[in-house]
């Protein structure tokens, strides 16, 4: 062979080329495992889950373009905490070159799955499927305290799969808030004592006026008979309960845009939290039941007002691609899904009036699962600009995650608080009176972090603003 | 020619690594010290094919957060003869920021403060970890710009740019990074600190003494560690325009560049995409709708609004007799779209053969302008000979070409052919009076060609290196092909404390 660029890959003996790339045969290069690194054994079935995303991992050319987009890399400067590092670790693990260690688990677990890296990747690597596969693969090997295991079982297996149970819990939380118990716990410092003060701060003030999907249809409003279209609403678990006001606002806005809004029964949680927490079976089960409950609507658009859920619903096609019975049903369903702002950008709202007495300065916070995962950035801004008297201003670091990221602000409170405070500072610096978002997690996170700084900036879901601006009754 | 040997890296024992890490944790006061096995994996590569094939994992990684951390690491490493490899964003393509002889990787990406923007004096003082795009965002409100523009603006750090003397798309008008570095603070291998470009100076030019600044720029961390940079800024041009020209004969693209220069215009960028690049860009992004031909040239001019229009018209008229299609625009959205066509090519190459990815190998040759058509044809012939798809693009205005090779990393035979092709591309560049690296730096990947490229001058470089780094601990095996011995056999007895 000619003089070699990477002559280090030649054997030192006979001069024959001996190029054996380390990623030729995943999982079959035990001699490369460094003997001094003792790790955790890979659980059964983990290898297959990881290998399903192996092509995706190999697409990374390690250019480093993702680094500055990554919230955890920006905070730590540690390459293990950046997208390129996480992909390299997952790949080396898949290839059997490095063992599963506590450090590796922590670095992968610290990923917010915000997909900012996916958004900027020139090589087309997709982080979210890697994280979903990795977390499912290692979950059996993750050492968790018994009570955390028990809590996960209750939350993932008992609570989220059942909307009646979910509503019951939210009702209990309402009791907690209005009964004075919360006031007592806060005043006595008991919440801080049990490490729940961050979680408590995230709770929204709500009235239990739930939107219960039981197959009902809300008729279109106004004289728009020429343009009547029926859409299905994905009501969501948190959105239809704790934040039901936003669901009701969404229904009204859709009605005013000339749509009949159908709420198919049998729907519930989308399974995104399960997928991001390593509970693949739970996510698959919820995905199937969601798909089944919406099939009654044929090919009608499925409208969703939660960015995180919308990203997951659109991902069902990929998520169930290897599921013989469900692959085509999943693909068909995912093709129907539209974020509410994505859908409304194609329609016109009849009458729009100002939402305040004078001009109102508003800044828009890109939910990661809308901007990065669904590439929807212009539609919500255009809708906001269509509101008279609304002055839209942009914040610094607009593509950086606010730290909510599903339940990240509960599982990783410190990092979430740091990111949330950074986001709050960016929002306050714009001088906006209102910050608008399109995702329940961001909504709660922004409220908590802005309140912590003493800011008076209001947090609103974009559907709430559109509802107010298109309401026949002008509320001043 | 001497081989680069990455297989001689002998990892020291776990006990020694723990001892080094323990010592460093005591000495490094603001940064982080990493030594867990899996934590070091990610410090074993950059964008190079070399390290894609085989990560070279260090014994310890230090994330420095202050100059004091760097001094502490260098003093310790010098005392114990431990190799130190500085590292920025690790977006390089030559394997120059990995610990080829083991030892410590010194990550400087977290030293990313902009210390002072001195608008009236047209300069900025900053730390090495500042990312290029971020720096330009920060100086823009003052109407200023740091002109060198690597295609990797959103990842490259200014420390890495200085260390590799990065050029980029606008070097044809504004020159390389070295033209824009006024002074450096450097921690020498023994831990001493010097300031080049006159201590405390804010002068924009100087003729005082040996040009030490230029010695450290482009040294790729083989002479010391840059901890602070004083960079020159320029008033931001108010307007730009872009001419694009399509050619069905490769030689005419080369003639067009010469003709534009003869017409007395100095474009801020002249880029070329060859037929494979155009094909790849169209496969990857059909909406770009590029006309597929032998070559596409992009001429960018910047300056004042009236001036750029005049320049653009002049360029269009000059190249029209040679091209099959010519157009120009001074509209920002149109210019952005044309630049996008250029910027997607690197990644788009993967579209030429599904299942393969871009490999950064042989990606940075530079040849005399008069030999460009010959070089492009030569690369296409080699592509056929080795049966490896290659799309070539680059900054033709300076003769800098980026052949993008495709590899199926799962196929050892494919890997072998890519390695052989890469070698052939490097020799082609040298045969035609060029260099193996126009702007990315030597690193480890191109070190084996330095003897042929420099001849006796390489020994002079070695003498400089030995004078500053007598123990050979600074980024060994980068640039210099063979004279740095493998890591001395470290053992716990060499290390103070910790054991």
Query: What confidence tens digit (pLDDT) does each residue in A59-118 have?
Result: 898 999 999 999 999 999 999 999 999 999 999 999 888 999 999 999 999 999 999 999
Quote the CA–CA distance of A293 and A285 in Å, as a whole number: 12
Considering CB atoms only, which of B36, B45, B129 is closest to A62? B45
| Cβ atoms < 10 Å from Cβ of B339 | 16
pLDDT score for B355: 81
Tens digit of each residue's pLDDT (9 = 90 or more) over A226-264: 667 999 999 999 999 989 999 999 999 999 999 999 999
CA distance B157 to chain A (A): 11
The answer as to CATH 3.40.462.10 being correct for domain B239-439 is: yes
pTM recorded for the entire structure:
0.88
Going from N- to C-terminal start, the domains of chain B cover: 14-109+452-494, 114-235, 239-439
Longest dimension (CA), chain B: 76
Quote the CA–CA distance of A472 and A85 in Å, as a whole number: 53
> E-strand spans in B18-160?
32-34, 60-63, 84-87, 104-107, 114-118, 123-126, 144-145
Tens digit of each residue's pLDDT (9 = 90 or more) over A138-186: 999 888 888 888 888 888 888 888 888 888 888 888 888 777 777 777 7
DSSP tag of B475: S
Interface-testing mutation among A6, A7, A56, A138, with chain B (most B C-beta atoms within 10 A): A6
B32: chain A residues, CB-CB within 8 Å: 78
Q: What is the mean pLDDT of residues A181-192?
A: 75
A19: chain B residues, CB-CB within 8 Å: 53, 412, 415-416, 419
The first and second tokens of residue A72, run together, are 């955890």
Quote the CA–CA distance of B488 and A129 in Å, as a whole number: 44
Quote the CA–CA distance of A58 and A313 in Å, as a whole number: 26
Going from N- to C-terminal start, the domains of chain A cover: 7-141, 146-202, 217-344, 360-470
Q: Are strands B295-303 and B239-247 parallel, antiparallel or unpaired?
A: antiparallel
pLDDT score for A193: 66
Assign B269 to helix, strand or coil. Answer: strand
- A-B contacts at Cβ under 8 angstroms: 183
pLDDT score for B8: 40
Quote the CA–CA distance of A230 and A350 in Å, as a whole number: 17
CB neighbour burial string for B247-282, b if at least 16 within 10 angstroms, e if fewer: beebbbbbbbbeebbeeeeebbbbbbbbbbbbbbbb
Answer yes or no: do B424 and A2 touch at CB < 8 A: yes
Please, are residues B357 and B406 in contact by the beta-carbon 8 Å criterion? yes
A21 vs B145, higher pLDDT: B145
Place of tokens 């990554």: A70
Considering CB atoms only, which of A65, A68, A80 is closest to B39? A80
The first and second tokens of residue B133, run together, are 């795009």
- Closest residue of chain A to B155, computed from CA coordinates: A65
CATH numeric code, A360-470: 3.40.50.1860
HEC states along chain A?
Answer: CCCCCCHHHCCCCCCCCCCCCCCCCCCCCHHHCCCCCCCECCCCCHHHHHHHCHHHHHCCCCCCCCHHHCHHHHHHCCHHHCHHHHHHHHHHHHCCCCCECHHHHHHHHCCCCCCHHHHHCCCCCCHHHHHHHHHHHHHHHCCCCHHHHHHHHHHHHHHCCCHHHHHHHHHHHHHHHHCCHHHHHHHHCHHHHCCCHHHHHHCCCCCCCCCCCCCCEECCCCCCHHHCEEEEEECCCCCCCCCHHHHHHHHHHHHHCCEEEECCCCCCCCCHHHHHCCCHHHHHHHHHHHHHHHHHHCCCCEEECCHHHHHHHHHHHHHCCCCCCCHHHHHHHHHHEEEHHHHHCCCCCCCCCCCCCCCEEEEECCCHHHHCCCCCCHHHHHHHHCCCCEEEECCCCCCCCCCCCCCHHHHCHHHHHHHHHHHHHHHHHCCCCEEEECCHHHHHHHHHHHHHCCCCCEEEEHHHHHHHHHCCCCCC
A33: chain B residues, CB-CB within 8 Å: none
Q: Are strands B181-187 and B365-366 parallel, antiparallel or unpaired?
A: unpaired
> Taking each helix axis from N to C terminus, what angle separates A127-138 and A280-294, rounded to the nearest 10 degrees?
120
Q: What's the topology of domain A7-141?
A: Fumarate Reductase Iron-sulfur Protein; Chain B, domain 2 (1.10.1060)
Quote the CA–CA distance of B427 and B448 in Å, as a whole number: 11
Please, are residues A297 and A335 in contact by the beta-carbon 8 Å criterion? no
- Closest residue of chain B to A66, computed from CA coordinates: B155
CA B146 to chain centre: 16
A179 touches chain B (CB under 8 A): no
Interface-testing mutation among B12, B19, B41, with chain A (most A C-beta atoms within 10 A): B41
pLDDT band at A205 (very low <50, low <70, confident <90, very high): low
Architecture of domain B114-235: 2-Layer Sandwich (3.30)
Q: Which residues contact A455 (CB under 8 A, 6 or more apart)?
A: A424, A427, A428
Positive/negative CA dihedral, B434, B436, B440, B442: negative
pLDDT score for A225: 59
CA distance B186 to chain A (A): 21
Could you say which residues from 415 to 444 on chain A have a Cβ atom under 8 Å away from some Cβ of chain B?
none
B3 vs A446, higher pLDDT: A446
Quote the CA–CA distance of B44 and B67 in Å, as a whole number: 23
Assign B384 to helix, strand or coil. Answer: helix
| Cβ atoms < 10 Å from Cβ of A13 | 7
pLDDT band at A24 (very low <50, low <70, confident <90, very high): very low
B4: chain A residues, CB-CB within 8 Å: 6-8
The first and second tokens of residue A449, run together, are 């972090």
Could you say which residues from 123 to 182 on chain B have a Cβ atom under 8 Å away from some Cβ of chain A?
129, 131, 133-134, 152, 154-155
The first and second tokens of residue B426, run together, are 């490097």
Q: Which residues contact A355 (CB under 8 A, 6 or more apart)?
A: A387, A389, A390, A465, A468, A469
Could you say which residues from 358 to 417 on chain A have a Cβ atom under 8 Å away from some Cβ of chain B?
none
Quote the CA–CA distance of A313 and A234 in Å, as a whole number: 10
Answer yes or no: do A5 and B362 touch at CB < 8 A: yes
Q: Which CATH class is domain B14-109+452-494?
A: alpha beta
Tens digit of each residue's pLDDT (9 = 90 or more) over A260-302: 999 999 999 999 999 999 999 999 999 999 999 999 999 999 9
Residue A19 has pLDDT above 70, yes or no: no
pLDDT score for B151: 81
pLDDT score for B488: 32
* pLDDT tens for chain B, residues 1 to 499: 233 334 444 567 777 888 899 999 999 999 999 998 799 999 999 999 988 887 888 999 999 999 999 999 999 999 998 999 999 999 999 999 999 888 999 999 999 999 999 999 999 999 999 999 999 999 999 999 999 998 888 899 999 999 999 999 999 999 999 999 999 999 999 999 999 999 999 999 999 999 999 999 999 999 999 999 999 999 999 999 999 999 999 899 999 999 999 999 999 999 999 999 999 888 887 888 889 999 999 999 999 999 999 999 999 999 999 999 999 999 999 898 888 888 878 777 877 888 888 899 999 999 999 999 999 999 999 999 999 999 999 999 999 999 999 998 888 899 899 999 999 999 999 999 999 999 999 999 999 999 999 999 999 999 999 999 999 999 988 999 864 333 332 322 223 222 2
Assign B168 to helix, strand or coil. Answer: strand
Please, are residues B60 and B33 in contact by the beta-carbon 8 Å criterion? yes
Place of tokens 């001058």: B457
Place of tokens 């980024």: B475
Quote the CA–CA distance of A437 and A443 in Å, as a whole number: 6
A7 touches chain B (CB under 8 A): yes
CA distance A183 to chain B (A): 41
Place of tokens 């001043």: A476
pLDDT score for B27: 97
Answer yes or no: do A79 and B11 touch at CB < 8 A: no
What are the Cα distances from residue B344, in Å, to A359, B131, B297, B349, B438?
A: 41, 21, 15, 9, 21
Count how many Cα atoms sit within 13 Å of the Cα of residue B374 in the half-sphere of its side chain.
13
Please, are residues B400 and B438 in contact by the beta-carbon 8 Å criterion? yes
B431: chain A residues, CB-CB within 8 Å: none
């Amino acid at each position: 062979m000619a003089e070699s660029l990477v002559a280090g890959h030649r054997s030192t003996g006979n001069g024959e080329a001996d190029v054996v790339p380390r990623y030729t045969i995943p999982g079959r290069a035990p001699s490369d495992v460094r003997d001094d690194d003792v790790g955790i054994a890979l659980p059964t079935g983990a290898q297959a889950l990881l290998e399903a995303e192996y092509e995706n991992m190999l697409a990374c050319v390690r250019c480093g373009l993702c680094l500055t987009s990554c919230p955890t890399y920006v905070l730590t400067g540690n390459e293990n905490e950046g997208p390129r590092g996480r992909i390299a670790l997952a790949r080396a693990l898949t290839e059997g070159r490095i063992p599963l260690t506590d450090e590796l688990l922590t670095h992968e677990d610290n990923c917010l799955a915000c997909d900012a890296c996916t958004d900027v990747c020139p090589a087309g690597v997709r982080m979210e499927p890697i994280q979903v596969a990795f977390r499912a693969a290692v979950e059996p090997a993750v050492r968790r305290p018994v009570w955390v295991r028990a809590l996960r079982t209750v939350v993932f297996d008992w609570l989220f799969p059942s909307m009646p149970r979910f509503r019951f819990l939210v009702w209990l939380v309402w009791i907690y808030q209005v009964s004075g118990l919360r006031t007592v716990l806060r005043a006595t410092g008991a919440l801080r004592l049990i490490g729940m003060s961050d979680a408590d701060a995230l709770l929204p003030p709500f009235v239990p006026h739930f939107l219960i999907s039981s197959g009902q249809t809300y008729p279109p409003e106004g004289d728009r008979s020429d343009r009547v279209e029926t859409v299905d609403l994905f009501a969501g678990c948190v959105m239809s309960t704790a934040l039901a006001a936003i669901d009701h606002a969404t229904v009204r806005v859709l009605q005013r845009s000339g749509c009949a809004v159908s709420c198919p029964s049998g729907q519930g949680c989308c399974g995104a939290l399960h997928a991001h927490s390593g509970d693949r079976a739970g996510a698959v089960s919820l995905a199937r039941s969601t798909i089944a409950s919406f099939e009654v609507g044929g090919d009608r658009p499925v409208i969703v007002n939660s960015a995180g859920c919308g990203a997951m619903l659109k991902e069902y096609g990929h998520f169930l691609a290897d599921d013989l019975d469900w692959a085509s049903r999943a693909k068909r369903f995912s093709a129907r899904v539209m974020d509410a702002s994505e859908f409304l950008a194609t329609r016109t709202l009849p009458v729009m009036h100002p939402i305040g007495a004078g001009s109102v300065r508003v800044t828009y916070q890109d939910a990661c699962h809308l901007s990065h995962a669904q590439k929807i950035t212009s539609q919500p801004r255009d809708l906001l600009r269509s509101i008279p008297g609304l002055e839209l201003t942009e914040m610094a670091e607009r593509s950086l995650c606010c730290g909510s990221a599903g339940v990240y602000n509960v599982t990783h409170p410190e990092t979430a608080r740091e990111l949330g405070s950074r986001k709050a500072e960016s929002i306050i610096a714009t001088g906006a009176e209102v910050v608008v978002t399109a995702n329940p997690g961001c909504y709660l996170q922004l409220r908590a972090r802005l309140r912590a700084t003493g800011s008076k900036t209001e947090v609103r879901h974009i559907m709430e603003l559109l509802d107010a601006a298109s309401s026949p009754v002008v509320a001043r | 020619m001497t081989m680069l040997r990455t297989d001689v890296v002998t990892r020291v024992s776990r006990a020694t690594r723990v001892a080094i890490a323990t010592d460093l944790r005591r000495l490094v006061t603001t940064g982080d010290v990493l030594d867990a096995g899996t934590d070091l994996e990610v410090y074993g590569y950059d964008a190079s094919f070399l390290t894609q094939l085989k990560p070279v994992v260090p014994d310890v990684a230090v994330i420095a957060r202050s100059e004091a951390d760097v001094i502490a690491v260098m003093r310790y490493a010098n005392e114990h003869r431990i190799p130190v490899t500085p590292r920025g964003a690790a977006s390089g393509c030559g394997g120059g920021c990995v610990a080829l002889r083991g030892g410590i990787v010194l990550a400087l990406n977290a030293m990313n403060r902009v210390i002072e923007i001195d608008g009236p004096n047209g300069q900025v003082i900053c730390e090495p970890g500042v990312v290029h795009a971020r720096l330009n965002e920060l100086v823009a409100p003052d109407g200023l710009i740091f002109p060198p523009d690597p295609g990797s603006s959103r990842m490259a750090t200014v420390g890495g740019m200085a260390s590799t003397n990065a050029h980029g798309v606008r070097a044809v008008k504004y020159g390389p990074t070295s033209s824009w570095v006024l002074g450096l603070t450097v921690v020498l291998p023994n831990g001493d600190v010097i300031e080049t470009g006159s201590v405390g100076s804010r002068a924009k030019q100087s003729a005082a003494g040996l040009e030490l600044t230029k010695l450290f720029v482009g040294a790729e961390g083989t002479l010391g560690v840059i901890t602070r940079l004083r960079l020159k800024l320029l008033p931001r041009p108010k307007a730009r325009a872009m001419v694009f020209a399509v050619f069905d004969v490769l030689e005419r693209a080369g003639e067009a560049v010469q003709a534009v220069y003869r017409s007395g215009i100095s474009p801020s960028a002249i880029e070329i995409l060859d037929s494979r690049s155009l094909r790849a860009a169209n496969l990857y992004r059909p909406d770009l709708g590029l006309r597929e031909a032998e070559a596409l040239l992009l001429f960018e001019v910047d300056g004042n609004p009236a001036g750029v229009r005049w320049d653009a018209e002049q360029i269009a008229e000059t190249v029209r007799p040679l091209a099959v299609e010519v157009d120009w625009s001074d509209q920002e959205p149109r210019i952005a779209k044309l630049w996008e066509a250029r910027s997607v090519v690197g990644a788009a190459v993967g579209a030429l053969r599904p299942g393969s990815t871009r490999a950064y190998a042989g990606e940075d040759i530079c040849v005399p302008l008069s030999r460009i058509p010959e070089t492009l044809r030569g690369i296409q012939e080699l592509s056929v000979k080795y049966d490896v798809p290659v799309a070539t693009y680059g900054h033709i205005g300076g003769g800098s070409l980026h052949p993008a090779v495709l590899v199926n990393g799962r196929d050892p035979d494919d890997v072998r052919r890519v390695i052989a092709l890469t070698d052939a591309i490097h020799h082609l560049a040298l045969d035609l009076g060029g260099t193996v690296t126009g702007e990315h730096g030597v690193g480890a990947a191109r070190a084996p060609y330095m003897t042929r490229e420099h001849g006796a001058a390489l020994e002079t470089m070695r003498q400089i290196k030995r004078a500053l780094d007598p123990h050979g601990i600074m980024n060994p095996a980068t640039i210099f092909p063979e004279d740095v011995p493998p890591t001395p056999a470290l053992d716990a007895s060499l290390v103070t404390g910790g054991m």
